[in-house]
Structure 1
Amino acid sequence: MLGRCLQVFILCWTGLLAYLLSDTCDIFNSRLHAVTQDMDQPLSHYFINSSHKTYLLEDQLKGPSSVAAYTRVLKQGCRYIEIDCWDGPTEPIVYHGRTLTSKILFADVISTVNEYAFLSSPYPLIVSLENHCCLEQQRVIVDILKTKLGDKLYTTPINGNTFALPSPNQLKYKILIKCKKIEDSSDIISAHGYVSEEDNSVEADWKKITRKSSFKCRAKPAKEPSKQMPMLRELSDLVIWCQSSSLEQFAQHGQSQKPWHVTSMSDTLVHRLMESSSALMEERVACNRHCLARVYPSCSKVDSSNYNPQPMWNCGFQIVALNQQTQGLDTDLNIARFKSNGSCGYVLKPAILRQPSAVFNPEATGPLNLPGVVPRVIQLKVISGHRFPKPLGSTTKSSIIDPYVLIEMFGIRADCANFRTKTVPGNGQNPFFDESFTFYTHFPEMALLKFTVLDDEFIGDEFIAQYTIPVDCINTGYRHINLLSSAGNKLAGCTLFVHITATHGADKKPMRRGNSTLNRLRVVKEAIAIKLVGIKAIDDTTKCLINNLSELAELKFNVETALIKFKEACDVGSVANIKYCVRTIANRACNAKGLTIKLVKSSGLPTFIISDGTPPDILKKALQAYLAWCKECKTLIDNGEPIRKTLLEIQALLRTIQSEMNSYVEEANLSEKKSQKALENFSWNMRVLKEQLTSLDQYTETCHSSFLKVIEAAQVNGVEVMTETES
């Protein structure tokens, strides 16, 4: 039978089954096993695969510490690890201080880090030092770091004119030290200084961060004495791009924090912020666009349990540190989040979490229309399962299981949903489910889809297998999902057979992006984020911003929309970079017989020219989308400069008003409450204006650099590049 099928080029049943179970039909998009995202953005624009108390293998009170823990997480792609340093008998040791956890040598940890730092990823590794050592042993720490890490250790001082963090590409194969740093208050440089020793209790953190609840308190924050500990100057000098910053500093400076300041917050505090203060959370989200911020498990989780990382990612926190040694839902989500982009440990945040002053509330519910985001409808049919094992730890007397499948969507609050199939009694070998479900995702770039197979008739642990995948990484069609154990290991032959479709739309209605009224309203909403102060003389000046900001928002929106359409035409993921799109065009041209493609630099636009043949529709569609994107970029570059000049003039005028703000408030005879609101709104408007100017500069620079990347990618992929005169 097989031989006959081969002769007439027919796929037999055995061949079809082998094909469906092959890597070609895997649910995960194989193109994303490589690095496809733009790695030239500042570090703050990426989610970073992070671990907490990396040295621990079990709980945080009496569990063992081991260098093997560092080996494991570095092999898994972690780009942020922690080392708690304490004084040892003769040299620094690593353990969870003041507990019964075992101790390991700091030197052994650094040797392991040096060996495995870039085994799974070439991108920068952040090593967080929690320093509890005396000055003498701090000197040993410095010697060990310099001797064992050598050129891998980043030591280049920051340029005084730097306003953004470097990119992963700029820091390839470099190790960054994160720690407290000596803040000099005078020109006298001594061999050592003092840094604060922070109280990590939730109540203490809450008091610090809520001091900014009013304008006056923020201007003159109450000072409380903090514990001081000595720090060696040489160790402080190794802290370059990741300076540990207190919550008190965030409370005082907010978004004016330096880009290299890293704030840390417990998961309990973040949830408290979400529930209690939308204004503070909004500012934290804004700050996360240009500064690194870390979330860690609260100190009450002594059993090394974790928290759901999804809400933290939704708010733009880059370093969401988990106890990687603890298996469960939280680590499943973390593994899935960093499975894309070549599992390199860095995943580019969606544009809305990178752009200054973008309007976004991750906790909002109901229909949403997010700037530059195309909602998606995921239609899923769970068909059947194959070779489900018996749950580990189950005490059921028989080997027969009653499986069912739980399907969960994790993302922003409006996208969270879950469904379950019926239970198939007594069949773990080949259960047939044949059930369909529909998920509506407003923000697919942040959404994760989790499949969990459970036993409905169990005594003990009901878990059988699971698989979690980012929605943006899903291959549609008929797919076999290779299920994993609780430890993340592939279970031989254990699969789930599904059919998946993904279409654009939201709330059961297709969404037309080109002329969508809702999206146009989004543009206006972004532009009129200006708040009235309540003082006529000031509000008249402030209203002048609306027209210019509206025009600017329209320009940015057009560039975003054109770029999305270009990527869709190239059939690449929404986070793919421009070079990858150009590579797709070059490959399609190469696969078309008798076709010649060239890139001509014409009128400031790199334009593809086709000769010696007719391009197929798939190539023609990509080229049309590319040209539309180029034109929108050129429009933003040309029209952005006069808008910039006008905004700078308005900014100068508002700064003059700011210097006389108290006089305006007194003259308006406002109540204390209205005065406070006026000061807050005026401060908000100044910040929005500053962010929009920064955003305009970034968009303009991105458009210019994107054109250069098109040319570079064309040359690399064999496309002839010519000037207009040469053509």
Structure 2
Amino acid sequence: MSKQSYRVCFCFRRRFRLAAAEAPADIKAIFEMYSENGLMRVDQLRRFLVEVQGEENATVESAQGIMDGLKHLHIFQRRGLNLEAFFKYLLGDVNQPLDPKLGIHHDMTAPVSHYFIYTSHNTYLTGNQLSSDSSDIPIIRALQGGVRVIELDLWPNSAKDNVDVLHGRTLTAPVELIKCLRSIKKHAFSASVYPVVITLEDHLTANLQALVAEMIVRTFGAMLYTSGPKLLNEFPSPESLKRRIIISTKPPKEYLEPNKVVKGKNSEKGQSSAEDDEWRREVPDNKPKNSVNKDDDLDGEDMGTDEDDEEDPKQMQQAAPEYRNLIAIPAGKGKGGMQQWLKVDPTKVRRLSLSEQELEKGIREYGEDIIRFTQQNLLRVYPKGLRMNSSNYNPLSAWMHGAQMVALNMQGYGKSLWLMHGMFRANGGCGYVKKPDFLLKAASNSEVFDPKANLPVKTTLRVTVYMGEGWYYDFSPTHFDTYSPPDFYAKVGIVGVPADTMKKKTKTMDDNWIPTWDEVFEYPLTVPELALLRIEVRDANATGKSEFAGQTCLPISELRKGIRAVPLYSQKGVKYKSVKLLMRFQFV
């Protein structure tokens, strides 16, 4: 090795020495206030829980329980907690920002339309929208994560004698419908006892619809909820539908008359749809029908799939009645445009589906109508077709207007999905979150909530970001930088109505695995009921770019007051074993 190269190597000596986490100055000061002679007795701990942590019902017994939980530590002393033990408690798993003891605490006896529902889009896809495999594995994963609405696209198999699930007119490989149904049955209630809705996008002939009906009845049996022959004028409640499976799709329609032959990739004799017509307009005659162009809008729903079109009663006479009878939540747009779609019929309830672009246009022109519609009916919103990499849109705009089924690609990791995770951490993670009262006013002449209105501040959230720890244990020493510790900074912001949405950032702590920021931010909130606290930690570097180091999203409505240990998650939403932030939340 040359002298020059030797000097270069010598310059970049690794600096990975890890100092023990030390309590920030504010924590030391608080400990001094609630301790005596360096020890915090059980009665002093109870007073801390009440006065700092906002736990008004804390008892001596609950404080003693915390102390008992620390007995395994060699630093524990029988007479009380010293500073080190107190600090360990604050950073411990028992001191979470959302109270695990709270559980399911929303009123679950209202109609299903009164809830935001954890909804997935093209749930069966393992990756992108164009060429990934279809599988029951993503469905299982979604259900285990608390998702309550599963979407399946139904197509005839190659022999036209059975039913596959796949993203039609793409290169996605199929999976058998029966496999998906059996996996749904097995895992539907592993994370929540509340109902699972299966939304079907149906591209089947009547005989295959009858086969689907037989599969569904045999698979789910008594778990299946059907409303009978009459139409519902109000949806049942989640409480009344515990451990039930619900089918939602448009009523089946007839295909073209047998003497009308349509040629197309997925057409068979007598089969056509608005989606097929749109596909033929999108694909030139000299282009193979099964080819894929990255610039094509290939999402079936965005390419003219009127999955909610009302059926012509004259064409429904020969549709499979056993299939139609399974549909407990009918979908339908009706004739005309957006204004007609959003008309409320007091004699029946239904589901309407809009693409993210349709929703944006609808909000601009008919925002109040959308909210009135969702007071009684279900609105599903789905990603635009150009999101071929399974990315997602911001769900807040849809939630602000009462949309219950805001469908996101569960495999499309990113900020939008983090917001979804945050919303459905509320109400015990059961997948149903009660909408705020201002979105539920039923009187048609009453003033409707306006997300853009200039409203008074209801509360101000004060957030103190003390410190972070755990990266050294969950990441390799060279993950962020080959030759030195990371340079962490934290982004802390509010996502909600436009007036409440804001972002703030801590300073960057150079070369430190245990960053101590000790910074305070304040967030005036006009609609805290719809606000989410989004936290992300990144590692800065000299190039001006930064590297992801953890994130979480928390519903403001359930945020616990006081000093809390906030666990961070990976980009895919997996909780890190050790990484967490020590923060304080105050409502002033």
State the TM-score bracket (shorter-chain normalisation): 0.7 to 0.9
- Corresponding residue number in structure 1 for 2:153: 84
Distance 1:41 1:158 in 2: 23
Aligned partner of 2:467 in structure 1 is 384
Distance change in 2, residues 1:144/1:27 (3 Å): same
Corresponding position of 2:84: 14
Q: Residue 259 of structure 1 contacts residue 290 of structure 1 at CA under 8 Å; is this kept in 2?
A: no
Query: Does the residue aligned with 1:64 lie in a helix, a strand or coil?
Result: coil
Once residues 309 and 146 of structure 1 are traced to their aligned partners in structure 2, the CA distance between those partners, rounded to angstroms, is 34
Tell me if 1:272 matches 2:357: no
For 1:44, which of 81, 103, 113 is the aligned residue?
113
Whichever residue aligns with residue 375 of structure 1, its letter is: K
Whole-angstrom distance in 2 between the partners of 1:472 and 1:175: 29
Q: For residue 466 of structure 1, what is the aligned residue in structure 2?
A: 551
In the alignment, which residue of structure 1 is the partner of 2:26?
none
- Does the aligned pair in 2 maintain the 1:395–1:458 contact within 8 Å? no
**In 2, distance between residues paired with 1:482 and 1:339?**
13
Q: Which position in structure 2 is the counterpart of 1:29?
A: 99
Matches of 1:338 and 1:132, distance apart in 2: 32
> Residue 182 of structure 1: CA displacement?
5.0
- Partner of 2:138, secondary structure, is helix
CA offset at residue 259 of structure 1?
A: 4.5
The answer as to whether partners of 1:195 and 1:231 remain within 8 angstroms in 2 is no
CA distance in 2, matches of 1:501, 1:291: 37
| 1:164 partner letter | E
For the structure 1 residues 173 and 437, does the alpha-carbon distance in structure 2 shift closer, same or farther, using more than 3 Å as the test? same
How many residues end up aligned between the 2 structures? 469
For residues 265-344 of structure 1, the aligned pairs below 5 Å read: 265-274=354-363, 276-277=364-365, 280-344=366-430
Equivalent of 1:129, from 200, 203, 213? 200
The question of whether the paired residues in 2 share the 8 Å contact of 1:240 and 1:260 is answered with: no
Deviations 1:496-543 (A, max 9, x none): 11122113xxxxxxxxxxxxxxxxxxxxxxxxxxxxxxxxxxxxxxxx
C-alpha separation in 1, matches of 2:95 and 2:396: 28
SS of the counterpart of 2:119?
Answer: coil
* 1:311-356 Cα distance to aligned partner (Å, 9 max, x none): 1101100000000012111111111111121211100000001112
In structure 2, distance between residues paired with 1:55 and 1:288: 27
Are residue 412 (structure 1) and residue 412 (structure 2) matched?
A: no
Residue type at the aligned position of 2:471: F
Shift of residue 399, structure 1, vs aligned partner: 4.5
* In 1, Cα distance between equivalents of 2:418 and 2:170: 28
- Separation in 1 of the partners of 2:202 and 2:542? 47
Q: Deviations over 1:58-105 (max 9, x none)?
A: 001101111111100011111111111111123111111111111110
**Residues 334 and 40 of structure 1: is their aligned pair in 2 closer, same or farther, counting only changes over 3 Å?**
same
Shift in Å at residue 29 of structure 1? 2.1
TM-score, with length taken from structure 1: 0.60
2-side partners of 1:397 and 1:482: how far apart? 26
Query: Equivalent of 2:176, from 102, 105, 115?
Result: 105
- Residue of structure 2 in register with 1:665 after alignment: none
Pick one of 160, 166, 169 that aligns with 2:239.
169
Higher mean C-alpha displacement, 480-489 vs 60-69:
480-489
RMSD: 3.3
TM-score of the aligned structures, taking structure 2 as reference length: 0.73
The percentage of counterpart residues that share the same residue type is 30
Partner of 1:422: 507
The DSSP-based 3-state class of the residue aligned with 2:85 is helix
Q: Distance in 1 between matches of 2:368 and 2:178?
A: 42
Structure 2 CA distance for aligned equivalents of residues 336 and 486 of structure 1: 13
Q: How does 1:453-532 map to 2 (within 5 A)?
A: 453-457=537-541, 462-503=547-588
Partner of 1:95: 166
Deviation at 1:231, TM superposition (A): 3.8
Structure 1's unaligned 5+ residue stretches are: 185-192, 210-222, 504-727
1:196 offset after TM fit, Å? 7.1
Q: Give yes or no for the alignment of 1:252 onto 2:347.
A: no
Residue 462 of structure 1 and its aligned partner are, at CA, apart by 1.5
Q: Which amino acid counterpart does residue 282 of structure 1 have in structure 2?
A: E
Moved more, 128-137 or 396-405: 396-405
Higher RCO structure (Cα 8 Å, ≥6 apart): 2
Mean CA deviation greater in 83-92 or 393-402: 393-402
Note the alpha carbon deviations across 1:644-679, whole angstroms, 9 max, x for none. xxxxxxxxxxxxxxxxxxxxxxxxxxxxxxxxxxxx
1:154-213 CA-to-partner distances (Å, cap 9, x unmatched) read 2241656x53111111222211111111589xxxxxxxx99975677769799x99xxxx
Distance 1:4 1:145, change over 3 A: closer
The aligned amino acid for 1:430 is I
2:3 aligned partner:
none
CA distance in 1, matches of 2:582, 2:154: 49
CA distance in 2, matches of 1:57, 1:391: 28
Change in 2 beyond 3 A, CA 1:82/1:265: same
Tell me the distance in 2 between the aligned counterparts of 1:157 and 1:249.
30
Q: Is residue 55 of structure 1 aligned with residue 139 of structure 2? A: no
Structure 2 vs 1, CA of residues 224 and 487 (structure 1 numbering), >3 Å: closer, same or farther? closer
* Pair 1:471–1:363, CA change in 2 (3 A): same
